[in-house]
Structure 1
């Protein structure tokens, strides 16, 4: 695997993070540049670089990210009002750390579309 990512360093406790959840397979911590009142990153402890690298052997780790998101939503009291989870893939998808992660955003109503930049339709 390539050089370690910032998430590998957080998992290995080499750099600090404001951790809100941890289990054997998953870690969730506050985003350092929050885009909502509640914004955490939910990551598998095993690095999977992009969504394109998800396969039958590691798919359970991705499913667990959503289980953790649902637990956090209930724990923090916004499961009923709603929340958003987003996973970016590669450069054009907005991925900046090549270790898959859910952005979990809550605490305010989310608009749609999430951006106002109108681009040419692809299909």
Structure 2
């Protein structure tokens, strides 16, 4: 898909928001939902999505969505840092298929990084559900 297109309310993130698809949730407030990426690039890879937007990309997002989204990203990234003690954290956001976007609902990746540990492939292998749940609990316990 290109940068232009119509929002598909059947995408997996929209289905998660409506409770039609499962997710290992980390954090939720009035504006955002954070959950574990089921195809993680590293241990603790989380996603943050806006709850009240039909934006496919950051370029489509309403200004009133961007601020609360980024505050949610910061809040979850701080919790990832406290819970997992990574050496660094990549915060990524893709716009359009050529840029690596695979789900066309605005979302931000929070990916903990450790020195000497290679980053997995984006949308690579599926994670073990029990491990995702355990890591999500660790992260959620650090959210203030």
The TM-score with structure 1 as length reference comes to 0.76
Distance across 1 between alignment mates of 2:86 and 2:98: 32
Distance across 2 between alignment mates of 1:73 and 1:62: 16
- Residues 24-63 of structure 1: pairs in structure 2 closer than 5 A: 24-45=30-51, 46-54=53-61, 58-63=62-67
Q: Is the 8 A contact 2:90 2:113 kept in 1?
A: no
Structure 1 residue 68: Cα displacement:
1.5
The TM-score with structure 2 as length reference comes to 0.66
Task: Return the structure number with greater helix share.
Answer: 2
Partner of 1:8: 14
Q: Which runs of 5+ in 1 are unaligned?
A: 116-123
Task: Decide which structure has the larger Cα Rg and report it.
Answer: 1
Distance across 2 between alignment mates of 1:42 and 1:50: 13
Root mean square deviation, CA, Å: 2.6
Aligned: 1:22 with 2:28:
yes
| Change beyond 3 A, Cα 1:35–1:2 | closer
Partner of 2:132: none
Q: How many residues align?
A: 110
